[in-house]
Structure 1
Amino acid sequence: MQKTLILLIVLTSNLANAQFIKEKSINAQIGYGLSAPNNGMDEIVDDGFFAQGELVLKVASWVEFRPYVGFILTSSNGKDLNDNPTNEKAETKAFLLGGKARVRAPIPWVAPYVEIGIGTSIGKFVTLTAFDNINKSGIIYHIPFSFGLELGKNKNVDLGFAYYFQPSVEQYAGAFAVGITFQLNTK
């Protein structure tokens, strides 16, 4: 009986469409990447490049689910924010993969939003401060958090800040990014 039920579910799963997904689109973002240690060393911020792509699954005018892939590359120039030489750094060279939920105020033309989710970072992470000496390569988890504005009549321009908290390497990566949303053809 269980085998028949499982077989029936597998065979009919392709026939069912997720009724709660109203629209699908792709969001492409590019921006100025940053990384910094978690321990409050405010003058240590390394910079670089950020890019990300998201599949946008619109559930309602104010809620979206967003699986994403992207990457962030940051490196130290050997100086702190005050232009003093330092050996301290928080570098990230990682591929990002995960999912987020976005809640947006349904306001025309300028809609503020906030996102949170869970994901994984795959790459190399270096956190060198007076408190931490971490040099790790591999797979770690991260917690994405973003906020910003969707602009335009169709809200297809995204301007925001994205953060990826990486507790296992005592740092966070982030970006100031601009994104464009492209509507996918629906059935």
Structure 2
Amino acid sequence: MKKTLILLIILLTSNLVEAQFIKEKSINAQVGYGLSAPSNSVDDVVDGGFFAQGELVLKVKSWIEFRPYAGFIFTSSNGEDLNGNPTDEKGETKAFLLGGKVRVRAPIPWVAPYVEIGIGTSIGKFETLTAFDNIDKSGIIYHVPFSFGLELGKNNNVDLGFAYYIQPSVEQYAGAFAVGITFPLNNI
């Protein structure tokens, strides 16, 4: 799994993507409010933090893009559930994110909805504590990124969306409410 993921990332980010099917290239920088939560929580716990990510945007058509990405997310528990009641449950993530996604979007100026999915790896420390799970793991795990949102502006260069990283091996998901800006690369 790790070798396949590394090979995919190298292929997407190398000069092999200079093929004729890539119409445009750009860089997308995102920052936002990070969150993580255990998958099996009794108390509805969501832990907050910080999220940042950069993506190389490889536009194939006006409605489909390949997006290799690198980013990080840091979340920590405040010891409360969503209602402000004290709880011992938590789902903390402190990780570097790396992978690739495919974005499908409606090619509409000013407001273009999108959805994306892919595969990636999280490298860091993960702690999940619920009535069902007691996981304290450091290292490399896989995740499945899933995002949806809107591209705003005349050239759709502002991104407003929700990004989720499902991490089944540690029984939690991480995510963010993020804002991004896309910068075109001119014939690089």
1:87 aligns to what?
88
SS at match of 2:18: coil
**Distance in structure 1 (CA, Å) of the matches to 2:187 and 2:43:** 47
1:176 aligns to what?
177
1:29 aligns to what?
30
Which 4+ runs in 1 deviate beyond 4 A? none
Deviation at 1:86, TM superposition (A): 1.0
SS at match of 1:30: strand
Does residue 141 in structure 1 map to residue 119 in structure 2?
no
Point out where structure 2 has 5 or more consecutive residues left out of the alignment: 1-14
**Distance in structure 2 (CA, Å) of the matches to 1:182 and 1:145:** 22
Deviation at 1:80, TM superposition (A): 1.0
Q: Look at both structures and tell me which one has the larger radius of gyration over its CA atoms.
A: 1
2:4 aligns to what?
none
Point out where structure 1 has 5 or more consecutive residues left out of the alignment: 1-13
* Deviation per residue, 1:60-117 (Å, 9 max, x gap): 0000000000000000011111111111100000000000000001112100000000
- CA distance 1:16–1:162, shift in 2 (3 Å): closer
* Deviation per residue, 1:29-67 (Å, 9 max, x gap): 000001011125462000000000000000000000000
**Distance in structure 2 (CA, Å) of the matches to 1:20 and 1:105:** 19
Does residue 17 in structure 1 map to residue 10 in structure 2?
no
Q: Which residues of 2 match residues 48-87 of structure 1 at below 5 A?
A: 48-87=49-88
**Distance in structure 2 (CA, Å) of the matches to 1:73 and 1:87:** 19
**Distance in structure 1 (CA, Å) of the matches to 2:104 and 2:16:** 30
**Distance in structure 2 (CA, Å) of the matches to 1:86 and 1:23:** 49
Deviation at 1:17, TM superposition (A): 3.5
Same amino acid, percent of matched pairs: 85
**Distance in structure 1 (CA, Å) of the matches to 2:43 and 2:127:** 17
**Distance in structure 2 (CA, Å) of the matches to 1:17 and 1:52:** 23
**Distance in structure 2 (CA, Å) of the matches to 1:49 and 1:152:** 25
Q: Which residues of 2 match residues 119-130 of structure 1 at below 5 A?
A: 119-130=120-131
SS at match of 2:169: helix
